[in-house]
Amino acid sequence: MIFAIALFVLATTPAAQPQAVVPLREVVYKVSSLRTQALTIETYGGSVANDLPEGNGSTTTISHEPQPTAQRTAVLEEGTMTIDVVGIEQNVIRVNITENFKNRPTARTYSAYVAPNGLVRFDNEDPSPVARFLLPLFGTNFAATETFSTGDSWHVDLKTNAVDVQNIFTIAGQDGPLLLLDEHETVKLTSARGMNYLGTGKIKYKPSLLVPIVGDIEEHGARSTMDSVNEMRTTVHFERVSDTRDTTPTPTTAK
């Protein structure tokens, strides 16, 4: 899901090859994401002096305690995402991602490598939230459980000198050929300027074709210092609308 910072260099990644004319597989999703940020800054340690004019043209100095400042931003992206599988080597798949979002005048295309367990390396420094959350689910060994029974779970973790990511997927039930997955993730950064994240998700996944069908994911990050609080929240929804390897209709809700 989140893997907001789990962008790594695959030891087994093959050298880049020319893009295939015909993808091995094409999956199209209807997607949306909303990112919000709230930054609050306070000033401590005394008053601030302001010089104010008096009626006779002279000035007087008045001290006051500054009020906290707050900045809030929101970015909404919605449209379609096309994932083309263009190569596979040693179970590492290479994909091309094409995003057609309403808030952008033109489509954006970039590539990524997906390791068997779902760790992803993008060739773009700023992949969309949807791509970051969706691509790990395409790993060839993503559903790392033998029985596919309710209660089975597996980890997709990453630990480096900079970050510790622990992600647990649990089978909450089944809907015909689909697994109902609950996801819980913790991201801890060692950098003093980093932000820690908690994430949850509900996903319908089709193990027979190694493909996510529909999902709702939420990520919350927070960082506090002596004089500021910075909070970020991202919500993502995706639902598959076409797949060249699967023409079977599937449910369009992850609940």
Pairing of strands 25-41, 69-89: antiparallel
Domain membership of residue 20 (yes or no) is no
Where would I find the H helices in 48-138? 129-134
Which structural domain, as residue segments, surrounds residue 107? Answer: 25-43+67-243
* 58 within a domain of the structure (yes/no): no
Neighbours of 198 (CB within 10 A): 15
- 15 in any annotated domain: no
Tokens of 43: 């000033």
**What's the total number of domains in the chain?**
1
Q: Are 17 and 57 in contact (CB under 8 A)?
A: no
* C-alpha span between 193 and 127 (Å, rounded): 21
Q: Is 141 helix (H, G, I), strand (E, B) or coil?
A: coil
Whether 49 is in a domain gets the answer no
CA distances, 87 to each of 24, 114, 122, 211, 234 (Å): 7, 11, 15, 16, 30
158 inside domain: yes
Task: Please state the separation of Cα 43 from the chain's center in Å.
Answer: 33
In a domain, 48, yes or no: no
Instruction: Give the 3-state secondary structure of residue 136.
Output: helix
The H or E element spanning position 211 is strand 211-224
Kindly state the tokens that stand for 129.
């939230």
Instruction: Write phi, then psi, for 131 (nearest 5 degrees).
Output: -65, -40
Cβ neighbours of residue 91 closer than 8 Å, sequence gap 6 or more: 115, 116, 140, 141
Residue type at position 2: I
| CA separation, residue 156 to residues 23, 58, 140, 181, 247 (Å) | 27, 68, 13, 14, 29
In a domain, 18, yes or no: no
237 assigned to some structural domain? yes
User: How many CB atoms lie under 10 A from the CB of residue 54?
Assistant: 8
Q: With contact defined as beta carbons under 8 Å apart, do 8 and 228 qualify?
A: no
At 255 the pLDDT is 59
pLDDT mean for each 10 residues of the chain (255 residues): 43 46 90 90 56 55 58 91 95 96 92 94 92 94 90 90 90 95 91 82 95 96 77 94 86 60
Joined together, the tokens standing for residue 78 give 């919605």
Instruction: Give the pLDDT of residue 63.
Output: 52
